[in-house]
Amino acid sequence: MSDDNLPVKYSAEAGTLPPERVQAMFDRIARPYDAMNRVMTGGLDVRWRRLAAEATEVGAGASVLDCCCGTADLTLELAKRVGPSGEVVGLDFADRMLDRGRLKIAKHGVDQATLIHGDALDLPFEDDRFAAATVAFGIRNVADLGLGFRELVRVVRPGGKVVCLEITTPESGVVSKFHSLWFDRLVPGVGRLVDKGNAAYTYLPASVKRFPGTTSLAHVMYEAGLEDVRFRTLGGGIVALHVGTVRRSAA
Ligand SMILES: C[S@@+](CC[C@H](N)C(=O)[O-])C[C@H]1O[C@@H](n2cnc3c(N)ncnc32)[C@H](O)[C@@H]1O
């Protein structure tokens, strides 16, 4: 489908695409996806995912959901934490991303991690199924941010953590200049190389620009049913790690 045929509310330039276009875009870029991440972050993304896994505060034997798991890098970090007696379920709707993730899981011989196809906005799990849930660089792409968090809250037991790792826009100074150089020049350049003539190079930077800032995102998480929502910025302010605790309902 060409952009001309899309409903008016969607446009790659505005950082919005219908779910089937998001899915198709990630399927197209699945092969170079990990290498792109390493190049665009100078390898820092590996540490950021480790911090996200730590923020779940789960230990051996726990059951965790990694939503929008993509090629399973965070899924694997979580699998280390929960150990062989635990369970990590990675969920994503882009099958080519899942294929890459499954290869990695097999290579690492991690039996406690399973990847499934599914929609973040309609999670195929019963209420309170998991001890914690994560979403890394994924929630920015879902069509309904509030619903995305409500679904994560629904499937995590009261008292469990919901962790969100996402690109953010720094508010001031040198980092803000670097960020604009990175997103307005480097990311579109890399996107153009790996997704020739398609949406990735315009969609990715635009989707970051339209995404709420750190405080607004914390508010969305609170509204979705999380309490004690905290965040810290990483990479000099280009990425934010938000953590909230699923509220226990009043007795
Ligand atoms: C930027 S990648 C992040 C992958 C991985 N979490 C990471 O840290 O590298 C975003 C992923 O979100 C997935 N995604 C976006 N919207 C989704 C939805 N509604 N349901 C399931 N997966 C979704 C995409 O298919 C893609 O694999």
Ligand 1 neighbourhood includes 53 CB (under 6 angstroms)? no
Domain 3-246 fold is Rossmann fold (3.40.50)
Ligand 1 neighbourhood includes 19 CB (under 6 angstroms)? yes
Question: Above pLDDT 70, what percent of the chain?
Answer: 86
Banded model confidence at residue 17, pLDDT cuts 50, 70, 90: confident
pLDDT of residue 1: 42
Q: What distance in angstroms lies between residue 212's CA and the mean position of ligand 1's atoms? A: 18
Buried b (16+ CB within 10 A) or exposed e, 48-75: bbeebbebbebeeebbbbbbbbbbbbbb
Banded model confidence at residue 36, pLDDT cuts 50, 70, 90: confident
Positive/negative CA dihedral, 68, 184, 45, 217: negative
Q: What distance in angstroms lies between residue 70's CA and the mean position of ligand 1's atoms? A: 5
pLDDT of residue 237: 86
Ligand 1 neighbourhood includes 18 CB (under 6 angstroms)? no
This prediction has a pTM of 0.91
Does residue 198 register a pLDDT over 70?
A: no
Question: Above pLDDT 90, what percent of the chain?
Answer: 66
Does residue 196 register a pLDDT over 70?
A: no
Q: What distance in angstroms lies between residue 251's CA and the mean position of ligand 1's atoms? A: 36
Q: Are 164 and 142 contacting, i.e. CB atoms less than 8 angstroms apart? A: no
pLDDT tens digit sequence for 163-173: 999 999 877 66
Domain range list for the chain: 3-246
Look at 18-27, 63-72, 189-198 and tell me which has the smallest mean pLDDT: 189-198
Ligand 1 neighbourhood includes 48 CB (under 6 angstroms)? no
pLDDT tens digit sequence for 73-102: 999 999 999 999 999 999 999 999 999 999
Ligand 1 neighbourhood includes 40 CB (under 6 angstroms)? no
- Using DSSP's 3-state secondary structure scheme, residue 64 falls into strand
